Amino acid sequence: MGAYILRRLLLMIPTLLGIMLVSFIIVQFAPGGPVEQVIAQITGQANGADSRIGGGQASDLGQTFDTSASSSKYRGAQGLDPRFIEQLEKQFGFDKPAHERFLLMIWNYLRFDFGESYFRDISVIDLIIEKMPVSISLGLWITLISYGISIPLGIRKAVKDGSRFDVWTSGVIVVAYAIPSFLFAVLLMVLFAGGSFFDWFPLRGLTSDNWDQMSWPQRIVDYFWHLTLPLTALVLSAFATTTLLTKNSFLDEIRKQYVVTARAKGLSERQVLYGHVFRNAMLVIIAGFPGAFISAFFTGSLLIESIFSLDGLGLLGFRSVIDRDYPVVFATLYIFSLLGLLVSLISDITYTLIDPRIDFERRDV
């Protein structure tokens, strides 16, 4: 097992490099980079641009403009002093060739040095840590709740396959899966968050303003009070796939010969189900856990964060792409990709713990 883990860890290096390289190349051709963002602010709203430029580079905007006609590779830069454009390029690191910028970025990322945000006066790692509680709360709880619903429900549907219970629960699952989570979130907001009917739940943040004055029991209640509507909106469709996957996996195992043999030996249905079938059937469920966790943790809550004003990693990544805040974009991509690869490795290790018959060292990676 040690050799397999080592090979997987070594394979992560070219995989990460490939992800970062492809993303870096795509960004080079994307219009509206950080320099263009600042230029647009200067030419359209000088005060807004002033706050984005550090070091007093635009302290006197009158010196920024050049009365002579000048050509520039940046859209909207006509009439701006070329020296000012050069200062912007140097500030954002665009005075270096693309390959040098990429190699420097990878070298820094290997040392977990992610630099500072272009447009926020904070380091990237501090910014990510600041947004982490929202994403952890949504991702962790939605994963636990969805698996807590899906596995028992899927097992029950497999045992009652073809019964009235199986039919009507399948109908409910299909309808729930077909409803977009953001649409259901809007409905919950209208019904229960002061929209048109009841004002029972808050619409902003993970905690109330008087959080520091609360006791620990009050903090726990307040925390889940803020999470009730977002989690309800997310869980509606989160358990559908896992439920049907659990059901089909258990049905496949129930029909195998070793189950017939166990029943012939006089074992109860519960002993057969949880003593023999459960371990084998859960292998498929474990295989889908990393993808479900990573999706819920990082990407699945963007619209929910926007609707309920929860400032998490999903919203941070989206805003960073819109603002062309490349340090935040590439740092989050690097961290998420690395974590995804590690979670996938942990999943394979869990395979061997559940079923010792699986030996990845005998297979080519």
Give the pLDDT of residue 296.
Answer: 66
Give the pLDDT of residue 73.
Answer: 64
Give the pLDDT of residue 103.
Answer: 92
Which two structure tokens, joined as six digits, stand for 304?
Answer: 């929910």
Q: Show the CA angle centred on residue 68, arms to residues 66 and 69, nearest 5°.
A: 105
Give the pLDDT of residue 363.
Answer: 55
- Using alpha carbons, select from 362, 336, 348 the residue that is nearest to residue 5: 348
Q: CB atoms < 10 A from the CB of 143, how many?
A: 22
Long-range contacts of 94-101 (CB under 8 A, 24+ apart): 94/33, 94/35, 98/24, 98/28
Look up residue 199 and give its DSSP letter: B
Give the pLDDT of residue 106.
Answer: 92
Cβ contacts of residue 28 below 8 Å, gap of 6+?
Answer: 98
Q: How far apart are CA 267 and CA 282, in angstroms?
A: 21
Provide the 3-class DSSP secondary structure of residue 81. Answer: coil
125-362 sits in which CATH class?
mainly alpha
Q: How far apart are CA 317 and CA 192, in angstroms?
A: 29
Where do the CATH 1.10.3720.10 domains begin and end in the chain?
125-362
Give the pLDDT of residue 345.
Answer: 83
Give the pLDDT of residue 150.
Answer: 87
Give the pLDDT of residue 132.
Answer: 84
Which two structure tokens, joined as six digits, stand for 143?
Answer: 């994963």
Provide the 3-class DSSP secondary structure of residue 121. Answer: coil
Give the pLDDT of residue 362.
Answer: 62
Which two structure tokens, joined as six digits, stand for 263?
Answer: 């029943």
Provide the terminal-to-terminal Cα distance of the chain, rounded to the nearest Å.
Answer: 12
Q: How far apart are CA 347 and CA 183, in angstroms?
A: 33
Q: Are 324 and 41 in contact (CB under 8 A)?
A: no
pLDDT tens for the chain, residues 1 to 365: 678 788 888 888 999 999 999 999 888 777 777 777 777 777 664 444 344 444 444 444 444 545 444 445 666 556 666 777 777 777 777 778 888 889 999 999 988 888 888 888 888 999 888 888 888 888 888 888 888 888 899 889 988 888 999 999 999 888 888 888 888 888 888 888 876 778 888 888 888 888 888 888 888 998 999 889 888 888 877 778 788 888 888 888 888 888 888 888 888 888 888 888 887 787 777 766 766 666 666 655 678 888 888 888 888 888 888 888 888 989 988 988 888 888 878 777 777 776 666 666 665 54
pTM over 0.95: no
- Using alpha carbons, select from 318, 43, 59 the residue that is nearest to residue 51: 59
Provide the 3-class DSSP secondary structure of residue 116. Answer: strand
